[in-house]
Structure 1
Amino acid sequence: MDWLDPLVLARWQFGLTTIYHYLFVPLTIGMALAAAIFQTMWVRTARVEYLHLTRFFGKIFLINFAMGVVTGIVQEFQFGMNWSDYSRFVGDVFGAPLAFEGLFAFFLEATFIGLWIFGWDKLPPKLHLLSIWGVAVGSILSAYFIIAANAFMQNPVGYEYNPVTNRAELVDFAALLLNPVALAAFPHTIFGALMFAAGVIISVSAWHLARGQHTETMRISLRFGLWSMIVSTVGVVISGDQLGLAMYATQPMKMAAAEATFDTVCGKDASFSLFTLGTPDGSSELFSIRVPYLLSLLSTHSLDGCVHGINDLNAQYAVEFADTGLTNFAPVLWITYWAFRWMIGLGMLHAFIAVVGLWVTRRGARREPAAWMWKIAIWSYPLALGANIVGWVFTEMGRQPWIVFSLMTTQDGVSPGVEAYHVLISLVAFTAVYAALAVVEIALIVRAAQKGPDTTEKPDEAAQLPSVVY
């Protein structure tokens, strides 16, 4: 690999900025929903603890939302800077869901955020509650439009190719929005976001409870976070099963790479590998630990189904896509293989911690959790975030060498004439700025989290509090 190749640098830049931006996306979605639920409970029960939790986690949400907006803007600039051929090819299709995301979902979200921040002393309680639900719904709608755009890259639908302009042109917006990959990926992504938000709530609550601070309030949020983690994990598993079916139907090479399956296998031989070692050239398997039938079940919902292998798919694609000049259509196997397993492993580990947490904090427990248990809970928050990130790494790296599956290779999407040093300079600059922003973000959230909720506030005083408390 030539590290001064504009294509390599452009891919690194887009990958790093995307992953960095995605650090904020799941927490924004999940924390908006958590704040909406806490405020709903306050309006329904008038319990002051729910008001404290609404204010507290709402502040963390707002800090994270602001940083997500800042980092998200950079993403769109890169389409014109480093990926102009890709933008020219799919702009007519890709632009439609992005426009809806910006003009509809994002503005809906931003408008309701303004009403929520400045409406505490101006709006009736139920109308003010509606504003935070508007924020939560807007963030989820925003996610759907982005996922629909990404799904076109995984499974192109709703378009016609114009040979005169050499562009994909949108002809069916409904087909684009109802892409089977988008319908499967959307709930999987949302439940994953809720897992991360639940993990943050668990960690913050455990930090205060370990120090005996705000115990009445933090016990409520801890139990909420633990149950949210379990419920969202169940959602991730169910939606992930459906996404696996959609992935195998549309991108069999990605499934083969995820399982390091080199030759087509059926039935008992279509096994799920827990661990695999392959040859250095990635053409065959040397050693593996496998569960019989499981890969067939995951891919086809049948014990006797067949799963295409990498070598067979390469031979098929070499003929079908001979005009690309490629001979290897498999992604980097060690990345897709281990990203798939880290995604599952990290998520399941966090869910296991939540189950244990519910048990040791149950009503009537004979003893308080030990100090080491609190430490595990406090430091568990990166698990669900890591599962989210490596899940997207798997999704995007598993699509390679295509930037739009079966239509355009990644090497054909990069901007022509862009010098490597131009991309390198912007890559270094973005990395430096994002590193600085990360320090600011972490410092602000840690400071807000450690300060804890303002327990001096009473329900009948909520409407009198100035909005600048945020």
Structure 2
Amino acid sequence: MTVAPAALDALMLARWQFGVTTVYHFILVPFTIGMSLLVAVLQTMWYRSGKDHWLKATRFFGKLFLINFALGVATGIVQEFQFGMNWSQYSSYVGDIFGAPLACEALIAFFLESTFLGIWIFGWGRISAKAHTACIWLAAAGVNISAAFILAANAWMQHPVGAVVNPETGRAELDGVSGFFKVLTNSAFVWEFTHVVTASWMLAGTFVAGVALWWMVRAARSGGEAEARNVWRPIAQFGLAVLAIGIVLVGATGHIHGQQVFEHQPAKMAAAEALCDSGPNAPFTIAAFGPLDATCDQITHVGEIPGVYSFMATNSFSGEVSGINDLNALYAQAFDVPSIAPSIMLTFWSFRLMMGFAAFSVILLIWGFLATRGGKVSTSKGLSKWALLSLPMPFLAATFGWLFAEFGRQPFVVYPLNMDPNNVFLRTQDGLSTVVPAGQVLVTLVVFTLLYLALGVVWFLLMRRYVREGIHTTHPVTTPEGKATDQALSFAY
């Protein structure tokens, strides 16, 4: 497709617009999920121990969490408007189902997290330490419940259980009260949610460990041995512990989730491996190259490890798996699409970039553990540089994981349940509004992209500023015993 026709293609523009706003928003989401829990744990450790470095860590990472939370709210609002405008046909067809968990998210989870987060922000020194600590736990619970409802809606699009088509209206509806509970207990939701949450722990653990290790080395090299040992080393070890838990659990949940995707969306996993022909002992392909819209005969495979994809999909190195050619022959005509498979190159590389960027966190975990074990405080410039380099990598890993999930669902916006054309499904092209012209979509695409780019720069500069500022500011708060102490932020909260 040449540039001029693409600029006037409403479907292409609407997909780009939703993709841009979603990626901007999702960069912030896993940090919010993971850091809400870590700040709650840090404050609890201070409340139970009374140790000053845990209070400092709570305040330090708390303000970074708040910056991210504020930008996350701002970028998330725009997405919902697109459902009623660019994708009004989608909303008309499945809005009765898709809207239910989103309504619960707004009415239950968002009010919970915003209310108690507000009390936490302004409650330092004004309410008891016990009540204040409870507030951050309730806010963290709200953040995770919010994620659960939103992911339940997304998982339904991947595996639309609990739905029936009303023959009178031609719209999909929940199959009664039981249908709503099927949406909330959907197997796709269970493993999507656990994978996203554990990935958020990995991301937050990387962030805490990376920042603390960088500060530890910096303090130790500038003569602040006591600060490096007594403040940053324990914070770094806390972040490394969370990182270790996150890495183990994200790998386990990812494996199970991948098998669930293989069962319900075989074309997505076949595209993730650029696997064209069905058979046993399917290999894991290290790299594959071809044009963006490549078909199987246009792809060059580089390096294959026999049996690994079969194991990933079936827990057996000799397991039988389906290839793109056979899936197209079986399903493309039934669903009136040219190919049941998504873009092979986009799906293939987003899957590998997800894993590749996550590897930086694994190296940070090993290096950080070796540098701080046995009471050691490192002065290694290499560790300091790697700690900084690792900070953006899990953000990118999470983003490419989300892109893999969404790229792989094409050419459907609601993937057919059990690959059966008699069940609920919706092709992406059929979800597009019939009344919003391409010119309006193009203008808003440009405006949103520039606006979000500006917000992204502000987010980065704020995060960078307060990370570099460190923890040495003062402000009166209350200790667990009710005594006044000094520890604050350079902005009021």
Whether TM-score is above 0.5 comes out as yes
Q: 1: CA distance between counterparts of 2:316 and 2:266?
A: 16
* 70-79 or 189-198: bigger deviation: 189-198
Change (3 A) 1:464 1:417: closer
Q: CA deviation at 1:318?
A: 2.4
**Backbone CA RMSD of aligned residues:** 2.0
* CA deviations over 1:99-120 (Å, ceiling 9, x no partner): 1111101111011101211222
- Distance in 2, Cα, partners of 1:337 & 1:302: 22
Q: Secondary structure at the match of 2:390?
A: coil
Q: How does 1:24-63 map to 2 (within 5 A)?
A: 24-63=28-67
Give the partner amino acid of 1:392.
W
Q: CA deviation at 1:81?
A: 1.5
| CA deviation after TM superposition for structure 1 residue 456, in Å | 5.1
> Does 2:386 correspond to 1:376?
yes
Deviations 1:437-457 (A, max 9, x none): 112111222111111113656
Secondary structure at 1:260's aligned position in 2? coil
Matches within 5 A, 1:241-256: 241-256=255-270
Tell me the amino acid that sits aligned with residue 58 of structure 1: G
Cα displacement (A) at 1:462: 4.8
Q: Which amino acid aligns with 1:255?
A: M
> Does residue 240 of structure 1 match 2:254?
yes
Q: How does 1:93-172 map to 2 (within 5 A)?
A: 93-171=97-175, 172=179
Q: Aligned ranges for residues 172-251 of structure 1 at < 5 Å?
A: 172-212=179-219, 214-215=227-228, 216-251=230-265
User: Shift of residue 381 of structure 1?
Assistant: 0.7
Task: Give the secondary-structure state (helix, strand or coil) at the position aligned to 1:276.
Answer: strand
Residue in structure 2 matched with residue 354 of structure 1 by the alignment: 365
Partner of residue 274, structure 1: 286
Matched with 2:419 is none
State whether structure 2 residue 77 is matched by structure 1 residue 73. yes
Instruction: Report the Cα offset of residue 286 of structure 1.
Output: 3.8
The 1-side partners of 2:319 and 2:144 are apart by 35
Distance in 2 between residues matched to 1:281 and 1:104, nearest whole Å = 45
Counting only pairs closer than 5 Å after superposition, residues 261-300 of structure 1 correspond to structure 2 as 261-266=275-280, 268=281, 270-277=282-289, 281-284=294-297, 285-300=299-314
Aligned identity (percent) is 45
Q: Is the contact made by 2:102 and 2:153 (CA closer than 8 Å) also made in structure 1?
A: yes
2:398 aligned residue? 388
Residue identity in the other structure for 2:430 = D
* Structure 1: runs of 5+ lacking an equivalent: none
CA distance in 2, matches of 1:464, 1:220: 18
Q: Contact 1:202/1:226 (CA < 8 Å) preserved in 2?
A: yes
Residue 469 in structure 1 maps to residue 487 in structure 2 = no
Mapped to 2, the partners of 1:63 and 1:464 lie a distance apart of 18
Aligned match of 1:7: 11
Alpha-carbon separation, structure 2, partners of 1:373 and 1:118: 37
Q: Distance in 1 between matches of 2:11 and 2:36?
A: 37
Q: Quote the residue 1:313 is aligned against.
A: 327
Conservation of the 8 A alpha-carbon contact between 2:276 and 2:296: yes
Deviation per residue, 1:316-346 (Å, 9 max, x gap): 112322xx3x221211111110111111121
Residue aligning to 2:339: 328
- Which residue, 435, 439, 449 being the options, matches 1:417? 435
Instruction: Compute the displacement of 1:227 (Å).
Output: 1.9
**Matches of 2:470 and 2:488, distance apart in 1:** 17
- Supply the AA of the counterpart residue of 2:160: P
Residues 467 and 345 (structure 1), Cα distance of their counterparts in 2 relative to 1, 3 Å cut: closer
Secondary structure in 2 matching 1:319 = coil
* Cα shift readout 1:133-161 (whole Å, capped 9, x = no counterpart): 11111111111111110011111101101
Q: 1:420 to 1:185 in 2, by over 3 A?
A: same
1:252-307 alpha-carbon deviations (Å, 9 max, x no partner)? 000100011101111x2x12112234588422354332222211111112233211
Counterpart code for 1:133: W
Residue aligned with 1:308, SS: coil
CA contact (8 A) 1:160 1:169 kept: yes
CA contact (8 A) 1:121 1:464 kept: no
Compared CA separation, residues 467 and 437, structure 1 to 2 (3 A): closer
With over 3 angstroms needed to count, the CA separation of the structure-2 counterparts of 1:21 and 1:464, relative to structure 1, is closer
Call closer, same or farther: CA 1:469–1:24 in 2, change over 3 Å.
same
Whichever residue aligns with residue 437 of structure 1, its letter is: L
Equivalent pairs, count: 464
Residue 464 of structure 1 deviates from its aligned partner by 10
Equivalent runs, 1:437-448 vs 2, <5 Å: 437-448=455-466
Q: Give the alignment partner of residue 431 of structure 1, picking from 446, 449, 453.
A: 449
Give the conservation status (yes or no) of the 8 Å contact 2:473–2:490.
no
Superposed CA offset, 1:353-412 (max 9, x none): 2111110222254x8342122111112111111110000000000000000012111111
Task: Report the CA distance between 1:222 and its aligned residue.
Answer: 1.4
Contact persistence 1:202–1:378 (CA under 8 A): no
Shift of 1:245: 1.2
Asked if the contact 2:36–2:140 (Cα under 8 Å) also holds between the matched residues in 1, the reply is yes
1:248·1:255 contact (CA, 8 Å) conserved in 2?
yes
Q: How far does residue 419 in structure 1 lie from its aligned partner after superposition?
A: 1.4
The answer to whether the 8 A contact 2:258-2:313 is kept is yes
Paired residues of 1:119 and 1:467 also in contact (CA < 8 A) = no
Asked if the contact 2:214–2:383 (Cα under 8 Å) also holds between the matched residues in 1, the reply is no
Asked if residue 451 in structure 1 is aligned to residue 451 in structure 2, the reply is no
Q: Mark the runs of 5 or more structure 2 residues left unpaired by the alignment.
A: 417-424
> d(CA) in 1 for partners of 2:34 and 2:147?
12
Partners of 1:314 and 1:223 in 2: how far apart?
A: 50
